[in-house]
Every structure is written in C-alpha cells, then in structure tokens.
Amino acid sequence: MRHTLTSQLWLFTLIAVSMTAVASPGPTPAAPQTPLPPPKDVPFPGAITVAVEASDLQRRIVRVHETVRGVNPHTILLYPQWLPGTHAPEGPIDRFAGLKITANGKAVPWTRDPVEVFAFHVAVPAGVTSIDVEFQYLSPTSGKVGPLEISDHVLMVEWNSVVLYPAGYFARQIPVTASLTLPTGWKFGSALETDSVNGAQTTFKRTSLATLIDSPVYAGDHALRVDLDPGAAVPVHLDVFADRESLLALTADEIAAHRALVQQAYKLFGSHHYAHYDFLYSLSDQVQQQGLEHHQSSEDGGDPESFTEWTKTAFERDLLPHEFTHSWNGKFRRPADLWTPNFNVPMRDGLLWVYEGQTNYWGNVLAARSGLLTHQQALDSLAQVAAYYAEEAGRQWRSVADTTNDEIINPRHPMPWRTYQRFEDYYEEGQLIWLEADTLIRSLSRGARSLDDFAKAFFGINDGSFTTVTYTFNDVVQALNAVEPYDWADFLRKRLDGVALPAPLEGIRRGGYQLVYTDTPSELSKNADDQRKRVNLSNSLGVNLDDKDGTIAEVVWGSPAFAAQLTESTQILAVNGNAYSADLLKEAIRAAKDGKAPIELIVKNGDRFKVVSIDYHGGLRYPHLVRDESTPALLDDILAPRP
C-alpha cells in the first residue's frame, strides 16, 4: 500500500498535536551518565603490579599497593563486580576503603562514577603514564559483618577483592605481577606459579588479570599437602589448612577415595584442562565454608571434622567432586551469555541448569564412583533431594528456569519462606532432570550409551587446552542428539519452563528405585543433623530447628507448622507442657499419630510468647529410596565405579 503525500502530512500533524497534548507538568530526565568504555580484545599497553599484605590476623585489614603502568588522562579503574563462580554482582565494594592515588609522589584526584559505583575516574595529569594506587580491603571482623576470611590459623585471599584494573580491555589482555605477604611461617596453596620468595613475601609469575582472579590463595599454619595423582605429568593436589593440627589426620582409605576421584573424573571426561590442579581445602569453624570453582583450583570449605569424623560428615562429601567437575563444566565450557570479557560486564545466568545442575549430578555420581560416598549414602543423599522437590510449594508458581536468576536476586541472604520463594533450584532440580536424561539415554539405547558419553563429547574436547569454549542451549541439544536421537529440546524446555508439574522423580523410578518415607532417618541424614546440631522435621511437622534451644531455622510452606502460623526464628520453649528437647518433640509427634489430641507448643518470638496447637497426626516421616525389583537398577549402574 502507498500513502499520498497529503495524507502523510495530515498524519504527522495529528501525531505532533497529540504528543504536545499529553505532555505532563514536572521534571524531565537529566542526560544519562556516559557509559563506561566497553572492554576490547586488544593488549593493555602497560601492566599492573600488585602487592598484597595479608598478615594482620587480628584486625583483618588487607593492605594493597598497586602500580598501574600504561595509564592516560581518560583512565578509569574498576573494582571487580561480576564474579565468575558466584554468577552475580557480588564484588565486596562495601569493604573497599582508603583509596589514594599518586603519580611521581603527587596526589591524583579520583571520583566514583555515580551509576557504575565500582568504577573510579582518575584525573591522570597529561604526560603521566604510571600511577601508584593504595587501598585497604577490610575483611570481615566477625560473622555479623560478613563471612570470615581470616582466622588465627587459616586465611583466604580472593584477588578480586584486592585489585583495581583499567576499564576498556578484556581481562585476559591485562598483564599482572602479584605478590602476597603472609604471616611468618605460614604455608599456602594456589594455582599460581611462584616466581620468587623473599621472607614472608611470595612473588608469583606474571600472568593475566583473568588468570589471577581465577587463582585464589589459601594459607595457614596447620597445613598438609597430599598428592592425589602420584607420578602424573599433570599433578593434582589436596592442600588442606586447618584450625588445629589434629584435624589433618587423613586415613589411607580417605586418601585413596580422593585419588579415585581424580581417576574417575578422567574416565568420565577423558581430558583435563589445567597444567596442575589444587583443591584449596579449609577445615575451620571460623572462616567461611564455601565451594567456589576455578579453572585450575577450587575453594573448598569443609566441616572441620571432614577427615576425623569421616562417616558423620558424609552429607557434604560431594563438595570436592562438584568443584572438580566445574573445571570441565563451568570453567572450560561456559554458557556464551554467562562468559564476560572482564569483571564489570553483567552476566546472564539462564543456562545454570547445565553449569550447576549437571555439575551437581556429576558431583554426586563421582562421589559414589570414587568411594567418597558409599552406595547407600549416595542413595540417601538423592532421597533427600527427591523428597524436597516432592513437597516444595514454590513449584506451583515458579519454573526452575526462573530460579536461574536467584544469585542476582538474592546473594544467599536468609529467606522467610524458601520452599515457597524457591532458591537456586537449578542445582538440585537440575540434578534430577539430568538423572532423568541419563536413565532415558540408557533405556533408549538398551544400555549401550549414557550421559557419560555426553560428558566426554561435550566437556572432553580440546584435551589439555585451558581456553574456554562457550555454548548455547542449541549446542547442548545437539550434543545430546549426537549421543541418542530424541526430542531433547522439548524434553528440556518442558521440565525447565513448566509450572505446577509433578516433581521430577522419573529418573529415580526409571533408575529402579522408589521414594518412600519411614519413621527413621537414614544414617546420612541423622549424621547431618548431629553434625549441624539441627533437627530436620521438614517432611513431617514442617520445621528445621536448632536441636539444643529449639529455635526454628525454617518452616516449610504448606506444612502443619505453617498452618499453625509458626515462622523462622521462633523458639519452641515447651512441648505438651514440658520444657523443649529434641527427643521430647519427636516423641510428641510419634504419640500424636495414635491419638486425636494436637501437639501443643509454647513458643517465643522476640519478647512475645504464645501457645500453639498443631493438629498433625502423620507421625515422623523421613525419605528413603527403596529398590523396585520390577525395573532394572540403572541407578546402581550409574553410581558404580568405571573400570
């Protein structure tokens, strides 16, 4: 269709008149802030030298002296904001202080960007090409301020906390020489290569900013280094740092299981993507217990008694297999929209059900294959996951795909109703989806192929290369189809985007097992409760609480405790008229099963007390997987060590 000139003019006049007519009184927006220069894939024409002093164990002040060569009057320095591994803008800018910049001994003014508050505009005088930068990183002094990183015996240095870098360049294009001063006599572990040692100061070989930030240092005065692949050309070490020397007592069987982990991972992936790998393992009840993946190392905070109470700490035994798997799934192969060229470009987390979900799957499978978990412990761990999703109320309104945004929405702050809000479910629901995919491939191929073949084909490429290869949803679908032709796009999208679907337990059923409940917890679950000093009644009363003082950590949405209007942080003082104890509460649940009387509690929240009746008669309920003899035990095959 063709408009005449006259009708176009008439239309233009009409629009202009109507736009004038709807303009409202009041302010109009200021001109937007000039955006930061986007990073370019060209060499930074200079280099960074950063010297970090991390020896102030009491005040936990980490001092940083940095020289940046190659600056100009337009230089912008960035404090890393978007951190790989956390997939979120969690750089600790609130603990960054004392910034002073000088050139040739004279102060150089700086101003913070009012929109990008991790960016500092530096007024470098004309002709000056090198600046000296000084600041402190104020590491948390108590748990109230943040998770501790420094104790009397263990400390961790994450380089993203202690470096400013120039905007405008890919992180891999910025050369850095870093040095670290530790308390005298302390040992350390890191993926970094040592260049020289001068007393308590270690200088590392020059590397890129990308590799530096991917290579944290753990240190301590009670340290142990275990060779997990003796004689290998590409070494793997377990570097343990503990509160006390006695916590370092690894048995021969424990070492053997960790060595088997390395071999089972090689059998699964058929490759490696590091020059050497270091598990940086802290055993401390003070510094934070976290798992954080890196390409050639991982930060692994375990229960301090991980080795000395081996059976009791089995509930977290998938930690090392999970973080090790990330060297392949997450670091070497990464979702294309999650990979970013520097640390101040936003990440998109939509494929975390592969990055974290399949890693959670392999973490548990490799734990079983290596003997870090017994077969029964692996089943008990899976039963817990299955029971959580069988009853999670949030599945009624929110897809697992939507939960991939959770790291950005909530950086792991406590939540009032986790089971309704949902939280990072792409890990464990992702694990169940991948179990379903694995059992499906095994069924369709009559046992000829499995998800192991996908792992080898997808993560095992370019053996020995450290260069990250990115992927998209379609790449995942294509790789699955190459292993076993099926409508994988539909399979995945239904499970990822679906709302109010039945719990994803098909992989367990097809694996030859059923989820059942009994009145006795599994040994794994009981030990987890003992070790965490918790009472987990999630599947019965609907509470998880402190075993000693009865303070509720979590109330399950839709549970009997929810109906009785209990909330987290409420303390149970009395059960049926008697002072609270964990045993008394369990006994009351047992007794109510055979009667009609409700369970009566006296509870306290702040300085308010009340009496609560819970009309619950379902008895104690704990999840287990039991063998269904009518179906082949595919799950047993999955968990069995590869020969």
> Whole-number minimum distance, CB 355 to Zn ion, in Å?
7
Q: Which neighbouring-strand residues pair with 240?
A: 224, 281
C-alpha pair distances (Å), 42 with each of 45, 80, 226, 427: 9, 19, 40, 36
Task: Tell me whether residue 173 or residue 403 sits nearer to Zn ion (CB atom).
Answer: 403
Task: Tell me whether residue 207 or residue 327 sits nearer to Zn ion (CB atom).
Answer: 327
Task: Tell me whether residue 264 or residue 431 sits nearer to Zn ion (CB atom).
Answer: 431
> Whole-number minimum distance, CB 427 to Zn ion, in Å?
7
> Whole-number minimum distance, CB 42 to Zn ion, in Å?
32
> Whole-number minimum distance, CB 277 to Zn ion, in Å?
16
Residue 141 identity (one-letter amino acid): T
Task: Tell me whether residue 388 or residue 427 sits nearer to Zn ion (CB atom).
Answer: 427
Helix axes 357-370, 252-269, angle to 10 degrees: 130
Kindly write out the interface string for residues 356-375 of this chain, putting x where it contacts Zn ion by CB under 5 A and - elsewhere.
Answer: x-------------------
> Whole-number minimum distance, CB 356 to Zn ion, in Å?
5
Task: Tell me whether residue 303 or residue 356 sits nearer to Zn ion (CB atom).
Answer: 356
255 DSSP assignment: H
Task: Tell me whether residue 333 or residue 510 sits nearer to Zn ion (CB atom).
Answer: 333
> Whole-number minimum distance, CB 33 to Zn ion, in Å?
35
- For residues 603-622, which are near Zn ion according to CB under 5 A? none
**Could you write out the DSSP letters of every residue in 493-529?**
HHHHH-SSPPPS-HHHHHTTEEEEEESS--HHHHHHH
**Could you write out the DSSP letters of every residue in 49-81?**
EEEEE---TTT-EEEEEEEEES--TT-EEE---
Task: Tell me whether residue 55 or residue 325 sits nearer to Zn ion (CB atom).
Answer: 325
Long-range own/partner contacts, residues 179-184 (CB < 8 A, 24 or more apart): 179/50, 179/51, 179/52, 179/203, 179/204, 180/51, 180/52, 180/54, 180/204, 180/217, 181/51, 181/52, 181/53, 181/54, 181/55, 182/54, 182/55, 182/155, 182/219, 183/55, 183/57, 183/219, 183/221, 184/55
> Whole-number minimum distance, CB 314 to Zn ion, in Å?
19
Task: Tell me whether residue 159 or residue 353 sits nearer to Zn ion (CB atom).
Answer: 353
Q: Do the beta carbons of residue 97 and residue 136 sit within 8 Å? A: yes
Task: Tell me whether residue 424 or residue 436 sits nearer to Zn ion (CB atom).
Answer: 424
Task: Tell me whether residue 161 or residue 431 sits nearer to Zn ion (CB atom).
Answer: 431
Residues 226 and 248: their CA atoms lie apart, in Å, by: 11
Kindly write out the interface string for residues 281-320 of this chain, putting x where it contacts Zn ion by CB under 5 A and - elsewhere.
Answer: ----------------------------------------
Instruction: Tell me, letter by letter, the H, E, C secondary structure of 429-495.
Output: HHHHHHHHHHHHHHHHCCCCCCHHHHHHHHHCCCCCCCCCEEECHHHHHHHHHHHCCCCHHHHHHHH
> Whole-number minimum distance, CB 589 to Zn ion, in Å?
35
Selection from 505, 486, 476 nearest residue 441 by Cα: 486
> Whole-number minimum distance, CB 504 to Zn ion, in Å?
19
Selection from 260, 221, 255 nearest residue 241 by Cα: 221
| Number of residues near Zn ion (by CB under 5 A) | 1
Selection from 452, 427, 426, 421 nearest residue 438 by Cα: 452
- For residues 463-492, which are near Zn ion according to CB under 5 A? none
Task: Tell me whether residue 356 or residue 402 sits nearer to Zn ion (CB atom).
Answer: 356
Q: Do the beta carbons of residue 324 and residue 298 sit within 8 Å? A: yes
Task: Tell me whether residue 350 or residue 619 sits nearer to Zn ion (CB atom).
Answer: 350
> Whole-number minimum distance, CB 325 to Zn ion, in Å?
8
Residues 209 and 39: their CA atoms lie apart, in Å, by: 13
Around 155, how many Cα atoms within 13 Å sit in the side-chain half-sphere?
Answer: 25
> Whole-number minimum distance, CB 606 to Zn ion, in Å?
37
Residue keyed to tokens 């939507």? 402
C-alpha pair distances (Å), 234 with each of 81, 245, 272, 562: 32, 29, 9, 53
- For residues 338-357, which are near Zn ion according to CB under 5 A? 356
- Find the residue with minimal CB distance to Zn ion: 356
Task: Tell me whether residue 186 or residue 426 sits nearer to Zn ion (CB atom).
Answer: 426
> Whole-number minimum distance, CB 348 to Zn ion, in Å?
17
Kindly write out the interface string for residues 517-556 of this chain, putting x where it contacts Zn ion by CB under 5 A and - elsewhere.
Answer: ----------------------------------------
Residues 473 and 336: their CA atoms lie apart, in Å, by: 9
Which SS3 state, helix, strand or coil, does residue 269 take?
A: helix
Q: Do the beta carbons of residue 170 and residue 468 sit within 8 Å? A: no
Backbone angles phi, psi at 631, to 5 degrees: -125, 140
> Whole-number minimum distance, CB 359 to Zn ion, in Å?
5
Per CB under 5 A, residues contacting Zn ion are 356
